[in-house]
Structure formats: C-alpha cells, structure tokens
Amino acid sequence: MDINNLPFCVTTWKDIEPTTHSGDSGFALWHTQQFGNIRVRMVEYSPGYIADHWCKKGHVLFCIEGELSKPNAKLKEQDELKKLRKRIAELEEENDILKKWQRFQAEERRKSSDS
C-alpha cells in the first residue's frame, strides 16, 4: 500500500451518499471517499451479512461496532459447492447429448436393418 500526500481532513460520513452491495446473504452500505490512489470506506453491514467473495488485496480495518470475522471454512465450502454444482450441470448436459446421440445411432441402425 502506497500512501503519499494524504492531507489531513475531516470526513462527515453521514453526508456521503452510500452505495448498496449485495452479499451471498444481506447487504453492505459503502460510504466511500477517494484520496488519490487510496480509497477509504465506512461500511455498514446488515445483520447476517456474508460476503460473496473475499478480497485478497489486503485492507486496513477499524471496527467501530460489532465484530468482523475473516473467511472461514464455511465460505470456502460455499465456494466449493458452487463449483461442484456447476460441474454437475455440465456433466448432466454432456450426458443428455450422449443419450441423444445413442438414440440417433439406434434409430439409424433400425432404419438400415429394416431396408
């Protein structure tokens, strides 16, 4: 993180219009200030909020109220489950194509034996 020429200032967070960002469950309200290449946010999370990803950049956090927990096995399991469901859908589609091909071949064989 490269912090240069960051002037002292006071931010009145309530005056900064929030943007809403959905998670796997719940949502986050981001109040964002930009200082050159540094982005500073005051974030409010709804009860039960679970992020839809975990950022690997690295951040500096200051928790004003409540608690914040890092990704855990449950988030990793959810990610693995999404990948598994996607692969199952792909395999089911491949299986449907194979069955159609087998039916086509059987029909062609039946037609040629009837001739």
Domain locations along the chain = 1-69, 72-115
| Cβ–Cβ < 8 Å for 51, 24 | yes
Terminal CA-to-CA distance of the chain, rounded, Å?
77
Q: What pLDDT score was predicted for residue 74?
A: 66
Q: What pLDDT score was predicted for residue 103?
A: 92
CA 47-51-54 angle, to 5 degrees, is: 145
pTM of the full structure: 0.54
Residues 52 and 26: their CA atoms lie apart, in Å, by 10
| Cβ–Cβ < 8 Å for 7, 33 | no
Return the percentage of the chain with pLDDT > 70, whole number.
94
Q: Name the strands in the sheet holding 19-22, side by side, starting at the edge strand that comes first in the sequence.
A: 19-22, 27-35, 38-45
The predicted model gives 82-104 an average pLDDT of 91
Res 114 pLDDT > 80: yes
